[in-house]
Amino acid sequence: MYTADGKQLQRPSGNSFYECEEKGMVTDASRLLVVDSCPGGERNFVRRINPGTGVDDWTWKAPEGVQIAHVLSVDPAVIVVNAGESGEVTDVINIDDKGRTTARISLSQGPYKVECTLQLTSCQGYVVDDRTLYVSTAEDPEADEEIRTNKMVAIDLRTGERRWDGSGGTDGITVPVAMRDGELLGYRTAQGGESGRLLTFDVKTGKSAVLQRLPAQSREQEESAVITSAPYYWNDQFYLIARASGLPGDPVVMAFR
């Protein structure tokens, strides 16, 4: 590990008091989060480190029986945990600047859909800004069998309460993609003979508007690709990028202007 000026930090790896080892680390421009896993899995920690000095700002200890599984955001510090024996993720936890839990959000309450693989930063289907977690719910079980629907939800990271929920329409599945010019960008998947759409959501009210309708001529490819792909938005361009488990023959990347 190195400081901002390139000097190597002379400090032990992990939480040496409990003989813990680093499970992984995640950084952004000004913060570093380190996840420590301890022998037997009885103790798990998150540490925030100042990259400029290498000094721990705080250490957060997971409650008994809770395993730290993934990191959604470094600043604010938002993690995903497994609090059961199933091995599946169960909760999202926000940790404030003093290392204290401010909100614990049960994924079963929506139920909210956050998909993760084994890597520390592998989760998809969410967006985090400075005080809000944006996530989609699972499909509505009472919806028409031919047209799947769900809702987009904004959850306050300071309280764990819903700020708003919005469907983005009644004719498709909508997932959060990114923040764009102060608004939330969502993707409504292609289905029912319609191509997908990019939507904007007002972060205060949840009101949605269509930003872009994706090309009708590529609808069939889009509808097939979305099954094994994740949506991304970068440099004013939208992408569907195949996950590692994509099926042979599926597009690896679809780019939309």
Residue 211 lies in a domain: no
Residue 87 lies in a domain: yes
From 72-76, 165-169, 194-198, the region with the lowest mean pLDDT:
165-169
User: What pLDDT is stored for residue 161 in this prediction?
Assistant: 95
Region of poorest pLDDT, from 1-5, 219-223, 230-234: 1-5
Predicted TM-score (pTM) of this structure: 0.87
Domain housing 23: 1-123
Asked whether 138 and 113 are in contact (CB, 8 A), the reply is yes
Structurally, the chain folds into a number of domains equal to 1
Q: How far apart are CA 119 and CA 187, in angstroms?
A: 24
Q: What angle do CA 161, 30, 33 make, to 5 degrees?
A: 65
pLDDT reported for residue 12: 43
Query: In the chain, what's the furthest Cα-to-Cα distance?
Result: 60
1 pLDDT higher than 60: no
Mean pLDDT of 154-172: 85
Predicted local distance difference test score (pLDDT) of residue 51: 84
Q: Does residue 8 sit within a domain?
A: yes
The edge-to-edge listing of strands for the beta sheet with 197-201 is: 174-180, 183-188, 197-201, 208-213
Residue-by-residue DSSP string for 122-167? --BSEEE-SSEEEEEEPPPTTS-TTS----EEEEETTT--EEEEE-
Supply the pLDDT for residue 144: 64
The confidence score (pLDDT) of residue 91 equals: 96
What pLDDT score does 99 carry?
Answer: 96
Mean pLDDT of the chain: 85
Q: What pLDDT does residue 135 have?
A: 96
Using CA of residue 152, residue 137, residue 128, residue 159, what is the dihedral sign? positive
Listed range (45-59, 122-136, 168-182) with the worst mean pLDDT: 168-182
**Cα–Cα distance measured from residue 96 to residue 157, given in angstroms and rounded to the nearest whole number:** 9
- What CATH number is attached to the domain comprising 69? 2.40.128
Residue 231 banded pLDDT, cuts 50, 70, 90: very high
Across residues 89-116, what is the average pLDDT?
94
- Taking CA atoms, 188 is separated from 37, 87, 132, 144, 145, in Å, by 38, 30, 21, 16, 17
Is 20 within a domain?
yes
User: Phi/psi of residue 219, each to 5°?
Assistant: -60, -45
28 located within any domain: yes
Domain-located, residue 198: no
Banded model confidence at residue 191, pLDDT cuts 50, 70, 90: confident
| 150 domain-assigned | no
Which pLDDT tens digit goes with each residue over 29-56?
788 999 998 877 678 999 999 888 888 9
pLDDT higher than threshold 60 for residue 143: yes
Domain membership flag for residue 171? no
Q: Which of 11-15, 90-94, 189-193 has the highest mean predicted lDDT (pLDDT)?
A: 90-94
Return the percentage of the chain with pLDDT > 90, whole number. 54
- The answer, yes or no, to whether residue 95 has pLDDT greater than 50, is yes
**pLDDT at residue number 4:** 45
